Structure 1
Amino acid sequence: MEYDRVRDVDPEVADALEAEVERQRDTLEMIASENHVSEAVMEAQGSVLTNKYAEGYPGSRYYGGCEHVDTVEELAIERAKELWGAEHVNVQPHSGTQANMAVYFAMLDPGDKILSLDLTHGGHLSHGHHANFTGQLYEVEQYEVDPDTGYLDYEALRDHAEEFEPDIIVSGYSAYPREVEWETIQEAADAVDAYHLADMAHITGLVAAGEHPSPVGVADFVTGSTHKTIRAGRGGMVLCDEEYADDIDSAVIPGMQGGPLMHNIAGKAVGFREALEPEFEEYASQTVANAKALGESLQDHGFGLVSEGTDTHLVLVDLRESHEDVTGKDAEEALEDVGIVLNANTVPGETRSPFVTSGIRAGTPALTTRGFDEEDCRYVGDLIARVVNNIGDEDVMGEVAEEVQELCEANSIYE
């Protein structure tokens, strides 16, 4: 992949772009929120639509000349409805966080109450962290997973809701490896007359393919990222029943955004089209199978997994169970040195800084896109164990780096 036109204008940016192509080609991408989109999605995102302002919605824009972008946005909306079975979809949010923002702005007033999962237990910044706008605008309390099992404690969540009386309960998580019981959380919300926002950012593709239960039709609002496991254009979306459509649309524009990124919406439309093909169900199924195989391999090497396994696309490793003196940051840096890219992550009962952590999070969406199967992912688990067990051993690091390169060459991307 070359950037000749960029190089003619800006060689420094061209160098960075080509270096990033090489980095992705020559490393194993295991950050659970990342993936490799198709060249068709990238072509759509780099299209002439980057030139077009289109404030408003199809058929009701504040600018002229929108007939073709209307077509693109309508395609993205209709395909999203088909993929997730929603009555109404807004595909304009620039990110999953802004999709969440749209729901809060539509349904809450400043000072209203949010009940969400604690960040160190697998939640997300936009669910109520004190440094995020949610923690600054709203009153937030947070529930946790069971420290002994690593599973959500639904009974404790329900009791917390009855005591706190939130205006909205947030479910859906960024580092939770198990299926979510959306109906149970909806019942807790109904019991205290609260809304329920299900954030499926990480599992949009798994839900679309039927590999994870769907919150659509259960929760009052569903938000998600449009990249990650769905492999479409980068951004967010909101799904809801028709009764909330006007509130959500008004919250997106003029509430929090102006012109939508129409080139990104084109990427969403193309990626959704790809996800409607039968092959996508095979991809999602393989992603989950690969995560299970990776987790089993790590367990065979003595690593402890939060909740003892996974139902999704990621595993969360608690290093305290096997490597008390190795931090998540230590492991992340050592693994990146050999070409395995994942992230340090907090774990339930975390005592270290979120910049250091006691765990690592590893996902299989990008590996699966490259063509990895269970055997490959067990092998990757072996490589991770060899690195973490031998941090600082240059001979081991060199050997693993060579094996990583062999895996990359055997499973190429972007020829």
Structure 2
Amino acid sequence: MTLRTAPFSGAEASPDVAPADFGALRRQDPEVAEVILGEAARQARTLQLIAAENVTSPAVLAALGSPLANKYAEGYPGARFHGGCELVDTVERIAVERATALFGAEHANVQPHSGSSAVLAAYAALLRPGDTVLAMGVPYGGHLTHGSPANFSGRWFDFVAYGVDPLTGWIDYGRVRALARRHRPAAVVCGSISYPRHLDYARFREIADEVGAVLIADTAHPMGLIAGGAAPSPVPYADVVCATTHKVLRGPRGGMLLCGRELAERIDRAVFPFTQGGAQMHTVAAKAVAFGEAATPAFAAYAHQVVANARVLAAGLAAEGFSLVTGGTDTHLIGADPTPLGVDGKEARGRLMAAGLVLDTCALPGAEGRGLRLGTAALTSQGMGEAEMARIAVLFAQALRRGSEAGVRAEVRELAGRFPPYPK
């Protein structure tokens, strides 16, 4: 079934989606104002297929542009280091209550500035520098915080990488268990930025328990699907769950942590004062708004439509000759190798961008060079369904044929015009 109703319609839609006085900004700083207007136009004229991006609601934008941005609030509700925090205490309590109810967790920390900040806090709470950590390797879809030598994680901890089967692209849990037995890590991390299948959190829990390790779930990508009941939850299995509040969750850019009561104090102290100072209270308020939206039946329908759209888009790309990681997807995310069409990932991305199809490249298991990583969260927020996904797959193939970019660009602009990010 195709979901044809855009989520930001009717009374929620407004021609003035900026809650602040944008006219004042244009008068005071026209240079910056023009950049913002240009970005709004870019988003409205192209198709956003970056898997880590989405379209927030006007209500989330209103919270982000609110006077809460002025308030300094180091500490936690009821125990701040600054005066005048009574109201920001209230909004943080709302965010925490909504997050714990939404995900069925005993404790939530909504202060991390990003997903990476959340992972840093989890490591700080549970590990010591030099500890061994088992996580998905960066070349297979692990995040920088999963042991990249360019990141704090790779410099402070001894990471052992697990990967995927080079032929199927699926995680080999037997191999993960063998690595855990051999290296006896202090922590096992499950999560990826490009793995398109659901993770088996119960099996990761078994592996961690067998070697006496804590289990950290990094659900930055699927957290919105989890909220909407379209993906399994790690909360019953992981000691700590790290996540972002944007991506499919459709909130502001930021991070969050979920855990049980027994780890609540350690997690909170790892966020503040160990890794961060004052919380961004306008962002915390926007997170509260997003959690409230994610608890509705409309969001559950949205999350399932995101997956349905991704599966149709994946099948269409396969029919056009792309090679897909794991042969398809269970989530919002697709990994596609364009080399069967005669182009590598870098060249393919450039041609697709020129045609108005905005996406990323990433390392693909078993492939030479880089492939394409794309997602359906933003387009689904704009109200697109399976019919549009099937057509977009055809546009992908047309854009990679030389001389076709102009025609594809015109059709992309027409399609984007029918499904604007913020209907007026």
> What's the TM-score once normalised by structure 1's chain length?
0.96
Q: CA deviation at 1:305?
A: 0.2
Contact 2:337 2:367 in 1 (8 A): no
Per-residue CA deviations over 1:288-310 (Å, capped at 9, x if unaligned) read: 00000000000111111010000
Whole-angstrom distance in 2 between the partners of 1:328 and 1:94: 31
Which of 372, 391, 412 is the aligned partner of 2:384? 372
Structure 1 residue identity aligned to 2:56: V
Contact 1:76 1:272 in 2 (8 A): yes
Per-residue CA deviations over 1:147-186 (Å, capped at 9, x if unaligned) read: 1111111000000010011111110111000010001011
Contact 1:294 1:378 in 2 (8 A): yes
Q: CA deviation at 1:386?
A: 1.0
Asked if residue 318 in structure 1 is aligned to residue 337 in structure 2, the reply is yes
Structure 2 residue identity aligned to 1:413: P
Whole-angstrom distance in 2 between the partners of 1:148 and 1:350: 10
Equivalent residue number for residue 343 of structure 1: 360
Equivalent residue number for residue 253 of structure 1: 272
Structure 2 residue identity aligned to 1:403: E
Q: Secondary structure at the match of 2:44?
A: helix
Structure 2 residue identity aligned to 1:217: P
Per-residue CA deviations over 1:120-152 (Å, capped at 9, x if unaligned) read: 211100111110000011111100011111111
The equivalences for 1:15-414 within 5 A come to 15-320=34-339, 322-323=340-341, 325-352=342-369, 357=370, 359-388=371-400, 390=401, 392-393=402-403, 396-414=404-422
How many residues are matched? 404
Structure 1 residue identity aligned to 2:226: V
Q: CA deviation at 1:351?
A: 4.1
Q: CA deviation at 1:350?
A: 4.7
Contact 1:331 1:344 in 2 (8 A): no
Q: CA deviation at 1:412?
A: 1.2
Larger RCO, structures 1/2 (Cα 8 Å, 6+ apart): 2
Structure 2 residue identity aligned to 1:16: V
Q: CA deviation at 1:349?
A: 3.1
| Overall identity of the aligned pairs, in % | 47
Structure 1 residue identity aligned to 2:236: G
Whole-angstrom distance in 2 between the partners of 1:136 and 1:4: 47
Consecutive unaligned residues in structure 1, runs of 5 or more: none
Contact 2:141 2:193 in 1 (8 A): yes
Structure 2 residue identity aligned to 1:127: H
Whole-angstrom distance in 1 between the partners of 2:138 and 2:146: 8
Whole-angstrom distance in 2 between the partners of 1:5 and 1:126: 40
Structure 1 residue identity aligned to 2:199: V
Asked if residue 10 in structure 1 is aligned to residue 29 in structure 2, the reply is yes
Whole-angstrom distance in 2 between the partners of 1:386 and 1:350: 22
Q: Secondary structure at the match of 1:224?
A: strand
Q: CA deviation at 1:335?
A: 0.8
Whole-angstrom distance in 2 between the partners of 1:171 and 1:265: 26
Q: CA deviation at 1:327?
A: 1.9
Contact 1:203 1:212 in 2 (8 A): yes
Consecutive unaligned residues in structure 2, runs of 5 or more: 1-15
Contact 1:88 1:241 in 2 (8 A): yes
Contact 2:332 2:377 in 1 (8 A): yes
Structure 2 residue identity aligned to 1:399: G
Contact 1:91 1:265 in 2 (8 A): yes
Q: Bigger CA drift: 110-119 or 87-96?
A: 110-119
Q: Secondary structure at the match of 2:26?
A: helix
Q: Secondary structure at the match of 1:317?
A: strand
CA RMSD of aligned residues (A): 1.0
